[in-house]
Amino acid sequence: MRGKILVMGMVLAAGMVQAKTCTWTGGDGDWFDAAGWEGGAVPEEGDDVVLAGTKGATLDLQGRETVPLASLAFGDGAGGDWVLMNGTLRLADDGTIWVCGSFHNIFSVAAVLSELDFRILNAVTWRP
pLDDT digits over 96-110, tens only? 877 766 656 667 777
Confidence tier at 38 by pLDDT (50, 70, 90): very high
Helix (H) or strand (E) holding 52: none
Task: Report pLDDT for 100.
Answer: 67
What's phi and psi for 3, nearest 5 deg?
A: -130, -175
pTM equals: 0.69
Confidence tier at 21 by pLDDT (50, 70, 90): very high
Contacts of 73 (CB under 8 A, 6+ apart): 48, 49, 50, 51, 52, 97, 98, 99, 100
Task: Report pLDDT for 102.
Answer: 61
Task: Convert the pLDDT of each residue in 39-87 to its tens digit.
Answer: 999 999 999 998 876 577 889 999 988 889 998 887 655 567 778 889 8
Share of the chain above pLDDT 70, in %: 66
Is the separation of the CB atoms in 75 and 91 below 8 Å?
A: no
